[in-house]
């Protein structure tokens, strides 16, 4: 499923290419989507390319080819009005702040104590995407998996962490913290709005968000562009 911004960009590309034969410039894309920098456009294009919707043509400036469109996308200029309700209603900023923090309840079961922690939505194990939140949902986790403090759960979307044993559809348990050691798998917030699950490494004045899948690239950011939201402490998988 595309995020709201990915859908808006794909719609813009489709409309402009049909009208003029060439895609808009990065500045035009940035202004049309209301983004502050062109780095956000780079991320959106990478996300659309990885999902097979577009292809960048080598050795040609501003050369993008649309390979497919979502079934619900029409050719009208304002395609975002035709977005499905699940996208329009559920896509939010990826800021897991205190207002969505843990409301811990302990339950006794035949297998011992379990704690109910909030399921805050989906987290990208791939190109960073906007988090999708459902704060009314809770999951029961064995208290032995928790480390004190605040915790929340997220559903993994993508396969960039499969070599670390984290698969699409898994539920990861995150301890809320803004500090992690080098090499820790954590929830990282990029540019204040997009969350991703990656291994974080600091070197000099840069931060690397490393996938655990050879098919994905490590992404490098300045320290002011990445904020740690929490660290991975457990994983639940349904069979």
C-alpha closest to that of 41 among 66, 90, 8, 86 = 8
Per the residue annotation, which of 160, 203, 206, 214 is the catalytic one?
Answer: 160
C-alpha closest to that of 49 among 33, 27, 65 = 65
Annotated catalytic, 46?
no
- Dihedral Cα 40, 158, 119, 225, nearest 10 deg: -30
**What is d(CA 200, CA 54) in angstroms, rounded to the nearest whole number?**
29
**What is d(CA 108, CA 58) in angstroms, rounded to the nearest whole number?**
59
Per the residue annotation, which of 5, 11, 133, 198 is the catalytic one?
Answer: 198
Q: Residue-wise over 111-122: b if at least 16 C-beta within 10 A, else e?
A: eeebbbbbbbbb
Annotated catalytic, 198?
yes
**What is d(CA 137, CA 116) in angstroms, rounded to the nearest whole number?**
10
Task: Kindly state the tokens that stand for 214.
Answer: 């050879």
Q: What are phi and psi of 165, to 5 degrees?
A: 80, 20
Q: Which residues are catalytically annotated?
A: 160, 198
């Amino acid at each position: 499923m595309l995020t709201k911004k990915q859908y808006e960009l794909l719609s813009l590309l489709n409309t402009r290419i049909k009208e003029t034969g060439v895609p808009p410039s990065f500045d035009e894309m940035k202004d049309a989507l209301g983004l502050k920098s062109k780095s956000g456009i780079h991320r959106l294009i990478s996300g659309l390319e990885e999902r097979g919707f577009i292809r960048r043509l080598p050795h040609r400036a501003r050369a993008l080819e649309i390979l497919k469109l979502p079934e619900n996308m029409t050719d009208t200029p304002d395609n975002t009005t035709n977005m499905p309700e699940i996208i329009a209603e559920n896509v939010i900023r990826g800021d897991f702040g205190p207002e969505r923090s843990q409301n811990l309840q302990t339950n006794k079961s035949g297998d011992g104590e379990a704690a109910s922690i909030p399921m805050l939505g989906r987290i990208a194990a791939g190109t960073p995407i906007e988090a999708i939140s459902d704060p009314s949902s809770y999951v029961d986790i064995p208290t032995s998996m928790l480390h004190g403090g605040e915790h929340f759960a997220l559903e993994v979307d993508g396969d960039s962490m499969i070599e670390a044993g984290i698969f699409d559809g898994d539920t990861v348990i995150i301890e809320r913290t803004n500090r992690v050691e080098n090499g820790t798998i954590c929830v990282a917030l990029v540019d204040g709005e997009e969350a991703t699950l990656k291994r974080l490494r600091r070197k000099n004045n840069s931060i690397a968000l490393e996938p655990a899948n050879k098919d994905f690239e490590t992404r490098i950011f300045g320290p002011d562009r990445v904020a740690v939201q929490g660290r991975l402490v457990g994983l639940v998988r349904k069979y």
